[in-house]
Structure 1
Amino acid sequence: MSISLVKGQKIDLTKGHAGLSKVVVGLGWDAIEQKKSFFGGKKPAIDCDASALLLNANNKLEKKEDLVCFYNKTSACGSVVHSGDNTTGEGDGDDEQIVVDLARVPAHVQKILMVVNIYDCEARKQDFGMIKSAYIRVFNHTNDQELVRFNLTESYAGKTALIVGEIYRNNGEWKFNAIGEGELAAHIDLLARRYT
């Protein structure tokens, strides 16, 4: 049974699920209905990009390959893999997924931060005020059982990046923290620099 979280809540992932070693983090969103522009054409689609930052105990990226995103789909250790870029967010279900093999995450990685940016947001004049129904969910890779879901219900108008949640180590177990913080970062590389 899936547990719905609110911002700031934390939950055990592995403690109550014996043998859980691989999870999928699904991220989804929908664009608010776009009005036609003054010149009659439709505004460009909103291209949200999910990413994962593998951070050490000091909240730092130790190497560039610890950023998993649309241009680097697999971490150097192979424990975190991105499903690929969905450039429109159309359709039901997860728009992008990140697979985390918990058993293979290197010992130096203490948390995996999940973030979403809007691609080319400055040129397209887009922000998360134009997004609705955003969520993050974590499910068991083996049987597709959803473990946790966090619906982002706040207004993130003016924000171009979201720190959605994190999977982190705690006393030999893995937990999930629902963060839901809006940020200003025009590209994932700019956000990642804050952790170097």
Structure 2
Amino acid sequence: MAINLSKGQKVDLTKSNPGLTNVIVGLGWDTNKYDGGQDFDLDSSVFLLNSSGKASSEADFVFYNNTIGAAGAVEHTGDNKTGEGDGDDEQVKVNLSTVPSSIERVTFAITIHDAETRGQNFGQVSNSYVRIVNGDTNEELIRYDLGEDFSIETAVVVGELYRHNNEWKFNAIGSGYQGGLGSLVKDFGLDA
């Protein structure tokens, strides 16, 4: 049975699941009906961060146009442009055992594509979540539902996998940003 987390909660991943190496990070969302006349396109992205909390290069920014990172240990499986249907809208596969030691945190974000132009924000998005699944057994291990109402934010850092004493843990962050993907990219040390 999956552990349901609240914002700010941290949980051990590999210590309580010995032998766990392959995980799937599933991200999901639904968009509310509104009269903006524009479709929503939410995107998941991954920032591979060093000990100072920064991405070392653009190669450490994994998303639908750069689907492989961390020397092949992190793989974004593709862009879902509608978010329709049940289950995960986008997924990222992570092989914990092959993530280079220079990467201490694998941070997951969801952004709204072209949000400012389209007049969209996370206040118009519901049922957002991130979940960690055992890639070998398909068992859901951790789930974090972002129940918060982000009324003006256009990007949300949902959570991160991080190393601690040679074990991997998960932190449910749920931190909203204005300025969309561009502000996240800058915060993580890359030029927009």
The one of 105, 110, 133 equivalent to 1:111 is 105
The one of 46, 53, 56 equivalent to 2:50 is 56
**Counterparts of 1:134 and 1:82 in 2: how far apart (Å)?**
18
Q: Is the 8 A contact 2:24 2:133 kept in 1?
A: yes
**Counterparts of 1:97 and 1:118 in 2: how far apart (Å)?**
16
The one of 47, 72, 87 equivalent to 2:66 is 72
**Counterparts of 1:16 and 1:158 in 2: how far apart (Å)?**
37
For the pair 1:121 / 2:126, whether they are aligned, the reply is: no
Which one-letter code corresponds to 1:55 in the other structure?
Answer: L
Percent pairwise identity: 44
- Under a length normalisation based on structure 1, what TM-score does the superposition of the two structures give? 0.94
Question: What is the aligned partner in structure 2 of residue 27 from structure 1?
Answer: 27
Deviation digits for residues 118-168 of structure 1, max 9, x if unmatched?
001111110000000000000100010101000001110110000100000
The one of 91, 100, 105 equivalent to 1:97 is 91
Question: What is the aligned partner in structure 2 of residue 184 from structure 1?
Answer: 178
How many corresponding residue pairs?
189
The runs of 5 or more residues in structure 1 that have no matched partner are 38-42
Q: Is the 8 A contact 1:27 1:95 kept in 2?
A: yes
Question: What is the aligned partner in structure 2 of residue 18 from structure 1?
Answer: 18
Shift of 1:191: 1.3
Q: Which has more radius of gyration? A: 1
**SS of the counterpart of 1:77?**
helix
Question: What is the aligned partner in structure 1 of residue 143 from structure 2?
Answer: 149
Which one-letter code corresponds to 1:168 in the other structure?
Answer: Y
The runs of 5 or more residues in structure 2 that have no matched partner are none
Q: Is the 8 A contact 1:83 1:96 kept in 2?
A: yes
Shift of 1:190: 3.7
Shift of 1:76: 5.0
Shift of 1:34: 2.5
Question: What is the aligned partner in structure 1 of residue 158 from structure 2?
Answer: 164
**Counterparts of 1:194 and 1:131 in 2: how far apart (Å)?**
23
Q: Is the 8 A contact 2:122 2:153 kept in 1?
A: yes
Which one-letter code corresponds to 1:28 in the other structure?
Answer: G
Q: Is the 8 A contact 1:117 1:185 kept in 2?
A: no
Which one-letter code corresponds to 2:105 in the other structure?
Answer: K
Question: What is the aligned partner in structure 1 of residue 40 from structure 2?
Answer: 46
Question: What is the aligned partner in structure 1 of residue 187 from structure 2?
Answer: 194
